[in-house]
Amino acid sequence: MCKEEGKRRSSGQRWRNPGPGDGGSAPPPPPPVWNQRRACGIGVGGKGGFGARAWTWKVGIGERGSMLTVLRVHLPSEIPVVGCEITPYVLLRWPDGSISNDDVPESAPLNGYCMRYKWYRNLGDQKVAVCSVHPTEQATLQCLVCLKEKVPIAKSYHCTPRCFSDAWQHHRSLHERAKKAANENGTDEEEVFGRFNSSGSGSFNSGLSGIAPNLLQSPGLNNGPISVYPTTVADKSGEAWSEVSRSRTYTPTADDINHVLKFECIAVDVETRIPVGNVNTVLTSRVIPAPSPTPRRVVPVNGDLLGQLDLDGRTSSGTFSVLSYNILSDAYATSEAYSYCPTWALSWPYRRQNLLREIIGYHADILCLQEVQNDHFEEFFAPELDKHGYQALYKKKTSEVYGGNSNAVDGCATFFCRDRFSHVKKYEVEFNKAAQSVTDVAMTAGQKKVALSRLIKDNIALIVVLEAKFSNHGTDNSGKRQLICVANTHVSVHHEHKDVKLWQVHTLLKGLEKIAVSADIPMLVCGDFNAVPGSAPHALLANGKVEPLHLDLAVDPLGILRPTSKITHQLPLVSAYSSFARMVGVSPGLEQQRRRMDASTHEPLFTNCTRDFIGTVDYIFYTADSLSVESLLELLDEENLRKNTAIPSPEWSSDHIALLAEFRCKPRIRR
C-alpha cells in the first residue's frame, strides 16, 4: 500500500514568532482574558501544524519579554481513551523572546519562572453505559450471564443485537474464563480481565488472555503527583471538578470513563509560587474505554484437528512461533490517507498502545515488524517489549530518497524471546548499496545515473541468526546447536517499478543462499513484499524461478533481469499460510479459514485492507526441508473489517493484519 511520506517537526524545536506558514496565519494575540474551549467539535486531532484546533491565546504579564508566557494550548486528539496518554501541545514564549514547545519544569526554571500543570475530572457528568465493542456508542442491551458470572460490568454492554451476535464467540469466552477463575479460588478478577477493566472501565485488555499486568500499566500511568486529599474546585459556572494530576501528560483511567477532563497550565514565579499571566484551559470530550476487538485464535494444521488453540500456553518445548506485521508508520498514518479512521484512533498515542497490546497478546517467540519508525523503536517498542522478555534488533531504512525528519525514517525491527533464543549473528542488507554494485560493474557513467535513480528506493532487509535454547523432541539433533535464520524485509512500494521489486527480492534470496551454504540451517523469510500472489516476486519466492513469459518481466528498462534464467534460487521455500489450503480434514475452524484463502494461489485473500486496495502483500516463507508448520493465526473476515470501511480502525491499528505461524524443526538433512 503506497503511503505518503509526512514531514513533521521534532519535539523541542524552536521557531520564530508564529505567522504565515505555521499551518495557518496566526492572528495577533487578543487582550488578556481567562478563556476555556471544549476540544470537541473544533477540529482537534490533526497530525501537526497550527490549523483549526482548540487552542487558547494568553499573553499577560509576560508580554514585556522578561517572563515566561503561554501562547497556545491544544490537544493532539479530540477523544481521550483509557490507557492512552494525552500530552497537550503547549507553545511558550521564553524570556529571551524566542518561541518553543519545550517544557519548563520547576527543576529547570527559566529566569526564575516555570510551568505548572493540572488535570481535572468533571464531577457533574452523568455516567451512561457504553458498548464494550464500540465505545463511542451508547449501550442498549446487557448480558445477564456476565452479571451472574461476575464478568466486569463494562464488558456486559452492547449497542445492538447485531453487535452482541457478532461478538458472541469472544463474549462467551469471557463467561468461561470468569467461571474458571472462580473455581481456582486464587485468581483475582483483575488478573483475568486486566487492571483497566476491574473497575468497570470497558475493555483495554481486549480479551487477550495472558497479558502481563505491567503492560496494562505502561507506559505513562505515572500521572504525576496529586494532593494527598483530592482537590475539588468549582469553575465560574458552578461545575465541580476533581484534581487528578499535576503533570503535563495524563493517562486516562477507568474512573475517567464518560467524564470530561480539563487541562490547565500557567507560568509560575519559582520563588514566590505566585502565578503570572492568565490560566490557560482546554477541555476534552468524554473519555471512552479502549475498543475490544475479538481475539484471533490459532488454528492447528498439523493433523491435530481436535479444536482451536488459545494463544497463551500453546507452544510446546520443541516448537517456536514467528509473527510478521507491518504496523503502519505514524509518518504515513495521515487523515488524508485514512480519512475513514477517526482521528483519535489514528493518533500515535492510541495506536502504539493498541499495537503493543495486540503484539504482546500473540505470545510469539520471534517478532518481525515493518514500518517501525526509528524514534518509536528506541523510545517505545524496544523498552516496552524488553519488559516482556524480548531482545531487539533494528535496521533503519537508508535515507537517500527521503529528506524529512531522520527520526521519522522507518525500518524493520526483529525481536526474539530471550528465554527461547540467543543472538548469534546479524546481517544488514541495504538495497541501495547493492544497486551501486550492480551499476558499477556493467554500466557507463550516463547509464549509471539513470539506473540509480530507478533502483535507489531506501529499502532494506534485516537478517538474524538465532540459536534455540529449547530441545527438539523427535529429531535426531539432540546435543547439536539448533540455529535458525530469520529474514525481515520491506520491499519497494512503487507498483510501476516491477523490475525493482523483483530485483530486490532476488538480491535478498541470493544473500540467504550464501548463508544456507555456509551454515545449512532452517530459514524464515518474512515481511511486506508489496507483491500480490502470482506476481514475479511471489513466483520467485514460492517456485524458485520466474517463467520467461511472465508479464512482469516485460518491465525491465535497465536490463537488470536479463537473462531471465538467472532469476532463480535454490532454497526450498513454501508459504506458511498455504498450509490452510493444503490441509486435508474437517473442522469448523479449518473450513472457515479455507473460505478466507484464494484457491488458485493458496494464499490469503488479503493481508492489506484499505478503502482503495485489498490484497495480499505480506508473507511468511519457510524452508520446507527443515521446518514444518504446526499452526497458524486465523485470518480476518473482510465483511467484519468493512463495518469500519477498512483498516486502520479503532479495533485494528494498522492497514495490514498480523500473520503468525508456529513451526517445528525437522531432522537435519543436508541440502
pLDDT tens profile 236-275: 777 899 999 999 999 999 999 999 999 999 999 999 999 9
Q: Is the pLDDT of residue 158 over 90?
A: no
Q: What per-residue confidence (pLDDT) applies to 399?
A: 82
- For residue 446, tell me if it sits in a domain: yes
Cβ atoms of 555 and 564 closer than 8 Å: no
Residues 54, 380: Cα–Cα separation, whole Å: 28
- For residue 158, tell me if it sits in a domain: no
Structural domain range at position 519:
317-472+479-665
Cβ atoms of 405 and 396 closer than 8 Å: no
Cβ atoms of 527 and 372 closer than 8 Å: no
- For residue 632, tell me if it sits in a domain: yes
- For residue 616, tell me if it sits in a domain: yes
Tell me what the mean pLDDT of segment 203-217 comes to.
33
- 6-10, 102-106, 285-289, 531-535 — which is least confidently predicted? 6-10
Tell me what the mean pLDDT of segment 410-437 comes to.
96
Q: What per-residue confidence (pLDDT) applies to 163?
A: 83
Residues 320, 366: Cα–Cα separation, whole Å: 8
> Confidence band (pLDDT; 50, 70, 90) for 133?
confident
- 44-48, 343-347, 362-366, 522-526 — which is least confidently predicted? 44-48
Residues 30, 429: Cα–Cα separation, whole Å: 56
DSSP for 605-656 reads S-SEE-SS-EE--EEEEEETTTEEEEEEEPPPPHHHHGGGSSSS-SS--SSB
The overall average pLDDT reported for the chain is 81
- For residue 232, tell me if it sits in a domain: no
Tell me what the mean pLDDT of segment 41-63 comes to.
36
- For residue 319, the surrounding DSSP H or E stretch is strand 319-326
* Higher pLDDT, residue 566 or 26: 566
pLDDT digits (tens, 9 = 90+) for 77-105: 879 999 999 999 999 999 889 999 999 99
Highest mean predicted confidence (pLDDT) among 66-70, 132-136, 278-282: 278-282
Q: Which of 523, 549, 527, 525 is nearest to 536 (CA)?
A: 549
Cell (9 digits) for 409: 525514517
Q: What per-residue confidence (pLDDT) applies to 92?
A: 95
Tell me what the mean pLDDT of segment 399-404 comes to.
70
Residue with cell 485488555: 205
> Confidence band (pLDDT; 50, 70, 90) for 227?
low
Q: What per-residue confidence (pLDDT) applies to 155?
A: 82
Residues 448, 438: Cα–Cα separation, whole Å: 9
Q: Is the pLDDT of residue 182 over 90?
A: no
Q: What per-residue confidence (pLDDT) applies to 608?
A: 98
Q: What per-residue confidence (pLDDT) applies to 596?
A: 94
- For residue 205, tell me if it sits in a domain: no
- Please calculate the CA angle 369-3-351 and round it to the nearest 5 degrees: 50
Q: What per-residue confidence (pLDDT) applies to 506?
A: 97
Q: Is the pLDDT of residue 315 over 70?
A: no
- For residue 307, tell me if it sits in a domain: no
Beta strand ranges found along 457-551 (DSSP E): 460-468, 483-490, 523-528
Residues 599, 633: Cα–Cα separation, whole Å: 18
Cβ atoms of 72 and 50 closer than 8 Å: yes
- For residue 292, tell me if it sits in a domain: no
> Confidence band (pLDDT; 50, 70, 90) for 367?
very high
* Higher pLDDT, residue 557 or 188: 557
- For residue 661, the surrounding DSSP H or E stretch is strand 659-665
The backbone torsions φ and ψ at residue 326, rounded to the nearest 5 degrees and listed phi first, read -85, 110
Tell me what the mean pLDDT of segment 428-453 comes to.
87
DSSP for 83-137 reads T--B--EEEEE-TTS-EE-----TTS-BTTEEEEEEEEEESSPPP--B-SSSTTS
Q: Is the pLDDT of residue 49 over 90?
A: no
Q: What per-residue confidence (pLDDT) applies to 650?
A: 94
- 59-68, 279-288, 564-573 — which is least confidently predicted? 59-68
Structural domains of the chain, count: 1
Q: Is the pLDDT of residue 42 over 60?
A: no
DSSP for 427-468 reads EEEEHHHHHHHHHHHH--HHHHHHHHHHH----EEEEEEEEE
Cβ atoms of 498 and 528 closer than 8 Å: no
> Confidence band (pLDDT; 50, 70, 90) for 127?
low
* Higher pLDDT, residue 42 or 331: 331
List the helix and strand counts (H, then E) for the chain. Answer: 15, 29
Q: What per-residue confidence (pLDDT) applies to 403?
A: 64
Tell me what the mean pLDDT of segment 561-589 comes to.
88
Tell me what the mean pLDDT of segment 13-22 comes to.
39
Q: Is the pLDDT of residue 219 over 60?
A: no
At 420, which CATH number? 3.60.10.10
pTM: 0.77
Strand 483-490 and strand 523-528: pairing?
parallel
**CA 129, 157, 151, 244: dihedral to nearest 10 degrees?**
-30
Please enumerate in sequence order all residues whose Cβ is within 8 A of that of 498, keeping only pairs 6 or more positions apart, or say none. 535, 536, 552, 555
Q: What per-residue confidence (pLDDT) applies to 311?
A: 47
Q: Residue 478: exposed, middle, or buried by beta-carbon count in 10 A (0-12, 13-18, 19+)?
A: exposed
pLDDT digits (tens, 9 = 90+) for 456-510: 999 999 999 999 998 765 555 556 789 999 999 999 999 999 999 999 999 999 9
**CA 155, 159, 164, 169: dihedral to nearest 10 degrees?**
-50
Q: Is the pLDDT of residue 211 over 50?
A: no
- Please calculate the CA angle 580-581-586 and round it to the nearest 5 degrees: 70
| Proportion of the chain above pLDDT 70, given as a percent | 77
